[in-house]
Every structure is written in structure tokens, then in C-alpha cells.
A and B are shown apart, each in its own frame.
Chain A
Amino acid sequence: MAAGVATWLPFARAAAVGWLPLAKQNMPKPPVDKKTRSDEMLFVNVSGLRFQTWKNTLDRYPDTLLGSSEKEFFYNEDTQEYFFDRDPEMFRHILNFYRTGKLHYPRHECIQAFDEELAFFGIVPEIIGDCCMEEYRDRKKENQERLAEDTEAEMATDTPLPPNSTSRERLWRAFENPHTSTMALVFYYVTGFFIAVSVIANIVETVPCRPPKGSKKDLPCGEKYSLAFFCMDTACVLIFTFEYLMRLFAAPSRCKFMRSVMSVIDVVAIMPYYIGLVMPENEDVSGAFVTLRVFRVFRIFKFSRHSQGLRILGYTLKSCASELGFLLFSLTMAIIIFATVMFYAEKGTKGTNFTSIPAAFWYTIVTMTTLGYGDMVPNTIAGKIFGSICSLSGVLVIALPVPVIVSNFSRIYHQNQRADKMRAQQKVRLARIRLAKKGTTNAFLQYKEDGGLQICDGDSTAVCLKNRSSFEHQHHHLLHCLEKTTNHEFTDEMTYSEMCMTESVGYRTSRSTSLSSQQGVSTSCCPRRAKRRAIRLANSTVSVSRGSVQELDTLQVQKSSAGPQSRSSLNARTEELKLNCEDRDFTAAIISIPTPPANTPDESLPSSPAIPGILRNSRSSTYTHETVKISSL
């Protein structure tokens, strides 16, 4: 029930006295109200701004934060007030809601901030009053559209392909986003070039060239150099056909592709040529053939794949369909009216151009659009009067829908601009996030290297602490706990990739403990290579690292386990190996190096857990089931 009703409830109850003499049965006992009925004032302190209100006011809406006992969590005993660490400006509106029963939306505030405040105070946005509801809805829709666009843009174009995409998917991606690969870009420019060539050829072949010897008449170039033009046309059509077929092959949904506008344009552009090939050189039919040539001009629309502005124009026209329809309808009405009037006005004149009403249509159109060719003019006075009215009204009727179309275009154009800006901004933002993450990881690794994991005592505390905030301390402790839990350790990208190298190298060495540097350089980093090598070495079950452990030096990274020793020592050793790992997009790699069972060197232990870079179940016996995972922060 609304707040106001709550105020009247005592009155309604009191009025129930009127039923008492009529009652057939006994009345039930009234509920006992234990709380004191006296009105008390509450103080609400929102970030320093103190608000005072009656308790009753807040109690009007018991399902919100302020109306329920939830506000007791925010009660400050010392100052005897409720303290909220929120925006005081926004709180004003929220408190007004309690007071007046209507929630208003402040127009100058950000819609998201407002929504958050509402969510915090437990108020449903649907109760915004009618006065502000429309504005709120519009802003909210705009915001959501913007967010949806951003996520779409983020996910759609520039994300790198998943590694397991088929050639078909890659092809499609190349067609849709030419800037992703060089080949696609080349193809993009080539097709653009050929479209231009084709269009220019179409134009030029109608220009009159100098006639060949022995003839007076000017010949259009198309007939003079017919072979050359034919060859050019053939080449263009071949390219277009090839492109269309490739697109058709690569399209994820062929039906949908075939129905799309661009594909229709493609087909229409190349059809005339094939039809021309097929059709015989018949006199009657070639007339139709000439008509078909007109369709060649549709090739120019293929440019819309290359030009975004053209696409925007197309969208605009589509979105303004209703306005355009209105324009057309009103124009038609006016044309018919004025044509009729003009025809009857000019009917009496001898030798008039206004031979029929449809003939008068031409005059009306030319006049209303203020063209005024002058091929048809009224002679009578009435005709002139109506003609002038016609031209005046023409200006009005045409001018009306134009601003709507223009504003639509401007909106779409700006949206497009914004999308581009967003994309650029996203890149920067992502880069910054990556950098921050890296920073955190590096800090942790640095911390470990400095021996911070040991319990610092006494005089070494100064060295250990090293300007770290309490947040960092706790964060590092947390990461350390995770390490202990999983029995693996964090390390950084470079180390990890090096491990890959030496891991592949180390496999080869199998029983021998010497690292021969003649192991070829593996050109790709761990997972795939490791898999293949793993398969190959399914039978060799020697733990490589143990061998390496025995031989290689130990760098103290972590005193407790011997695992890291192998890692860091491998670091030292693998410098000469050319690291040619592919660029993996992980920000930090967690390499698993569980403590190798150094105490019990057992040949029968098949899977050496101390294979760097591979996080795997230490109980797995063979490498064949590829549980190779790279987890990244």
C-alpha cells in the first residue's frame, strides 16, 4: 500500500466503531502495539550532511533500507545518528521520496550513479514518478545501448582468433575485418581497385571517341575498342565472382549470407555479364541485354564494404523510413491535388501543355521542388495563381521531414564515431589493466626473491619490509597460501617460456644429464610441442629434472624445495638457446613445479612432476593424455 494510505489507517480503524452495533459476532482483539507511539526525530548523517526526519516518515516504506531494521546496522552510538557513507546530493532525492511518496530523477546526475544509490537503499526504480519516468527511461536505455555496443565492439572485431579455428573461420574473419591480416588487407585493396576500374570502364565506354578512318560519325569508345573493354570487364567479373564464391564458402551461415544486402548486390553486379555470355547475338534480345548492362552500375554499391560513410548513409535511410514514407505520402497527395487543379484551370487555353492530369503531374513536381524547368507554364490567371500556391506549399512540404532525417543521420554518425573512440579507448584500458596485473605479480615475485617468505626476525626486518603497504603484505600472504595449497609456485612469463625451451630440450636428454646445445630450436612454446614430445617420449619415464637437479647449479630462490633450483638453474643454462616462443597472450604464467620427490629417486616414478611449465596431476602415469594447462593470472 502506498505511504499515504498508512497515514489513514488509524482513521479507518477508528471508523470501524460504526460497525460495532451491527456486528453479528464478537470482534477480535486488536493487535497490541508494543512500540511507543510517540513520534521521534531521527538524524541521518550522509557523508557529513545531516538530515533530520520523523521516524514515521521513514517507516512508510518498510521494505527499504531506511524503513526497516536494516538501518540499525548503520547506527552510530556515539553520535546517536545513522551514518551513511554515500553521496549526500543523491540522498536528498531519496529522502524526498519518503517524504512525498514520489521518487524524482535528477536530470544532471549520471544514471548509473543514481541506480546504484537506489539499489543501496533498497528502492525499486519502477516507482519513479511520472514526471521523471520518461527521462529516466530514455537515459537508462541510452546507457544500456552504449554498454551493449561497447561489449559488442570489444568482443566482435579485435579479439584474437581462438587457436582452434578452422580455415573457414579464419577466412571469414579476414573478409569481415581486413585489418587483421596482411593477406586480407591486400585482397581488400585489390577488390576496391577492381571495382573502381569496372565503374570507370563503364563510364568511359560511352564517351564518344574519334571515329575510325572512313567514317564520319562519332563512335562511343565502347564500340571502338570493344575487345579491350570486353577483356577488362571479364577480368573484373572474374575477380568479383571469385570473391563472392570465397565469401559464400567462408560464411558461417550460408542462407543468412545469401539473403544479406551485400551479397545481393554482388550477385546483381556480376549477373549481367553471365547473362550476356549466355544470350545469343539476337537483335530482339539484345535490346533487353542493353537494359541489363544498366545493372552493372550496381557495382558501385560494392564500395559500401569499403566505405563506412556509405554504410552510415544506408542505415540512416533505413531508420528514417517512416519519415521518408510520410514525405512521400504527403507529396503524392499534394501532387494529385495541384495537378488536378492546374489541369482544369488551363483546360480552356489553346495549345496548352496541360493535356491531361498525369501530364500535369510533371508540372506539379517540377514546381513543388522549385526546379521550374519552364517546359510547362500556365497561361491563365487562375493557373498562375494556383501555380504560385503550388510552389509555396512545395517548399513547406519538403522542408518538414528533412530535419528529422538529418538528426537521425547525425545521431547514427556520432554513434559510429563513438564506437571507434571506444575501441581505441578499450585498447588503452586493457593495456593498462595488463600492466597493473603484471605489476602486482612482479611485486610478488620480487618479494619472494628477496627471501621475504621467510619469517623475518630481528634486524633483518628492515630489509624484509621494504616499503610495502599492509594491503600488499596481506595480498602476498594470500598468494603464498595458494602456492602452498597447490604445491606449485608462481613465476613469470620469461622464466616460463625458458622452461618450455629447456623442457623440450630436457626431454631429449632423457637419461643423459648433459644438456646438449645442439637441440634444435623449438620454434613454438610449450603446449603443442610438449604434447608432441610427450607422445614421443611416452615410454621414457625418467624424471628429467632429477637428472638436471643433480648436475646443475642451484640458485637459491627458495630454500625449502629443490624444485625452483632446477628452474633457476635451467635459466642460467638456457641462455644460449634461442628463444623463439610464440607470443602467448598470458599476462603471467604460473608454472607448476611441485617439489620433486628428491628423497626417493625412483625410476619407476613415471611422470616427473618437475617438468616445468606443465601443471599436471602428479599421479598421471603417461604423457599421452594431455592435461597440459597453462594457467595465467
Chain B
Amino acid sequence: MNIQGMELFAIGVVVILFVAVLKQFGILEPMSLEDSSDSDLELSTVRHQPEGLDQLQAQTKFTKKELQSLYRGFKNECPSGLVDEDTFKNIYSQFFPQGDATTYAHFLFNAFDLDRNGSIRFEDFVIGLSVLLRGTVTEKLNWAFNLYDINKDGYITKEEMLLIMKSIYDMMGRYTYPSLRDEAPSEHVEKFFQKMDRNRDGVVTIEEFIETCQKDENIMSSMQLFENVI
């Protein structure tokens, strides 16, 4: 048979259509991969339950009613019981609309996330709050040191402090009076180190920190400032 060009083309088209129709019927499945079905299953998000009320009461200095109130608010905002870093950054940024609070929120998140698993549970949340609001001055200072010590190695280096300082100044945003100079964070860090670093070894240890703060009247008096937040 003398098949000419157009006819060949026509037959090709017919064959393609035939195959397409068969595929529709599911009879012919030449190249479908087997793992496609598994990806359809979407696991529901993990839900976290906090420890019992009594245990939390033992661990923190909040009353039962306060814990209940705190948990209600927490659960309302985070029904899954966990706060991940992005959500945390979002929430914290809303309080500082003029500047960029994400970096500081990152440090704060790490300060709250005690077991470093990437999400804050209610226990972390409430334990942190308990220290900040009901703890002794030493505990608060410890908490602050922990915040500044980014790699949690027990020493605050100048670089760490600079990062922290920069993130705090970032929260101010651009429109400040007097306008922010670029050297402001590093100057602030220098002053801090001059005050805190007793032995001039370039790092601040926890003892130096606590000792210096206890000697500073302003810092000690201001520690009582946030007692009645809840």
C-alpha cells in the first residue's frame, strides 16, 4: 500500500486519540508512577496537649485561675497547641509596626523554646512567663543572659551582643528622633561591655553579668516593672 505523507499523519493522529480515550477509561496506564497515591494522603497536623494543670502549677508560680486564663488565650490563638517560629515572628512584629522585629523575635523564640525543637509549647510559654513575671531578680537576670547568649555557651561575646543590639535597634525603624546612626548599636555594645566585662577578656560571663546588674540601682528597680502584667 502506498501510504502518502498526509495519510501517515492522519493515521498518527487517530492513534494518539485512541490512546487518549483508553487512558480516560483507565484501561491503559503506561507510565503512571506508583507513589502518586501516597502523596494524596495529608496527615493532619500534630496536636499537642500540655501537661496537667497541677503539674504546671507546681512548675510555675501562677495560680490556677491565671493558668486557666493563659491557656484559654493560648489555645484560642494556636489551636494546635504549638507556636512555630514564623507565627511567633508574625505576632511579635505586630507590636512594632514601625520597625522590623523579626530578628529580635528569632532570638526571643530561642529564649522561650527551651528544648530547641523549633516550636513553643504551652509549657515553655508559661514557664518563661513565670520567670519573667513572678521570678526572683536573679532568675530574671538569668533569663536575660540566656537571651543574649545566642549559642547558649555561657559567654556573651561582642559579636553576639552586637547582633542582639542591632535587632533591638531594628525594631525602632527608620523614623526616630534623633535619627539612628549606623554606629549606634556598636557604641551601645561598647558601653555595655565596658560596664559588664570586669576582667576585660572580651566576653561576659553569667557571674559578671549578675554581679554588675545587682550593683546597678536602675536595673534593679526596673526589674519590678512588669510584675503586674498578668
A residues with CB within 8 A of B:
1-2, 4-5, 7-24, 26-27, 29-30, 33, 37-39, 54, 56, 99, 344-345, 348, 380-382, 385-386, 389
Known contacts A1-B94, A345-B10, A385-B13; is A24 also within 8 Å of B188 by CB?
Answer: yes
Selected from A2, A5, A22, A39, the residue in CB contact (under 8 A) with B65 is A39
Stretch at the interface among B26-34, B35-43, B52-60, B221-229: B221-229
Q: Classify the secondary structure of B's interface with A.
A: helix
Q: B192 at the A/B interface (Cβ < 8 Å)?
A: yes
**By the criterion CB–CB under 8 Å, are A14 and B132 in contact?**
yes
Q: B175 at the A/B interface (Cβ < 8 Å)?
A: no
Q: B114 at the A/B interface (Cβ < 8 Å)?
A: no
Q: B4 at the A/B interface (Cβ < 8 Å)?
A: yes
Q: B168 at the A/B interface (Cβ < 8 Å)?
A: yes
**By the criterion CB–CB under 8 Å, are B219 and A9 in contact?**
no
**By the criterion CB–CB under 8 Å, are A22 and B77 in contact?**
no
Chain B, 117-159, CB within 8 A of any chain A CB: 125, 128-129, 132-133, 140-141, 143-144, 147-148
Q: B6 at the A/B interface (Cβ < 8 Å)?
A: yes
Selected from A4, A20, A345, the residue in CB contact (under 8 A) with B219 is A20
Can you add 13 more A-B contacts, CB < 8 Å, to A39-B65, A380-B6, A385-B14? A2-B94, A8-B91, A8-B95, A9-B95, A10-B129, A10-B229, A11-B125, A14-B229, A20-B225, A30-B229, A54-B72, A99-B76, A385-B10
**By the criterion CB–CB under 8 Å, are A37 and B76 in contact?**
no
**Residues of B with C-beta under 8 A to A2:** 94
**Residues of A with C-beta under 8 A to B229:** 10, 13-14, 30
**Residues of B with C-beta under 8 A to A38:** 65
**By the criterion CB–CB under 8 Å, are B13 and A8 in contact?**
no
**By the criterion CB–CB under 8 Å, are A13 and B188 in contact?**
no
Chain A proximity mask over B164-205: 1 for CB below 8 Å, otherwise 0: 010010000000000000000000100110000000000000
**By the criterion CB–CB under 8 Å, are B91 and A4 in contact?**
yes
**By the criterion CB–CB under 8 Å, are B76 and A11 in contact?**
no
Q: What's the minimum C-beta distance from A9 to chain B, rounded to whole angstroms?
A: 7
**By the criterion CB–CB under 8 Å, are A21 and B94 in contact?**
no
Q: What's the minimum C-beta distance from B4 to chain A, rounded to whole angstroms?
A: 7
**Residues of A with C-beta under 8 A to B188:** 22, 24
Chain A proximity mask over B52-90: 1 for CB below 8 Å, otherwise 0: 000000000000010011001110110000000000000
**By the criterion CB–CB under 8 Å, are B223 and A17 in contact?**
yes
CA distance A345 to B144 in the complex (A): 84
**By the criterion CB–CB under 8 Å, are B143 and A17 in contact?**
yes
Selected from A10, A27, A54, the residue in CB contact (under 8 A) with B222 is A27
Q: B9 at the A/B interface (Cβ < 8 Å)?
A: yes
**By the criterion CB–CB under 8 Å, are B192 and A22 in contact?**
yes
**By the criterion CB–CB under 8 Å, are B7 and A15 in contact?**
no
Known contacts A5-B91, A13-B226, A30-B225; is A381 also within 8 Å of B168 by CB?
Answer: no
**Residues of A with C-beta under 8 A to B46:** none
Q: What's the minimum C-beta distance from A573 to chain B, rounded to whole angstroms?
A: 83
**By the criterion CB–CB under 8 Å, are B226 and A17 in contact?**
yes
**Residues of A with C-beta under 8 A to B144:** 17-18, 20-21
CA distance A381 to B143 in the complex (A): 86
CA distance A38 to B17 in the complex (A): 73
Q: What's the minimum C-beta distance from A102 to chain B, rounded to whole angstroms?
A: 12
Give me the 8 closest cross-chain CB pairs, A-B, nearest first. Answer: A382-B10, A14-B132, A7-B73, A382-B6, A385-B10, A382-B7, A27-B222, A18-B147
CA distance A491 to B228 in the complex (A): 73
List the A residue with the shortest CB-CB distance to B72: A54
CA distance A56 to B230 in the complex (A): 13
Known contacts A4-B76, A23-B218, A30-B225; is A386 also within 8 Å of B10 by CB?
Answer: yes
Q: What's the minimum C-beta distance from A334 to chain B, rounded to whole angstroms?
A: 15
Task: Output the residue of A17, A21, A33, A380 with the most chain B CB within 10 A.
Answer: A21
**By the criterion CB–CB under 8 Å, are A14 and B129 in contact?**
yes
**By the criterion CB–CB under 8 Å, are B92 and A12 in contact?**
yes
Selected from B9, B91, B128, the residue in CB contact (under 8 A) with A382 is B9
List the B residue with the shortest CB-CB distance to A27: B222
List the A residue with the shortest CB-CB distance to B79: A100
**Residues of B with C-beta under 8 A to A20:** 140, 144, 219, 222-223, 225
CA distance A23 to B143 in the complex (A): 16
**Residues of A with C-beta under 8 A to B163:** none
CA distance A4 to B87 in the complex (A): 12
**Residues of B with C-beta under 8 A to A24:** 188, 191
List the A residue with the shortest CB-CB distance to B146: A18
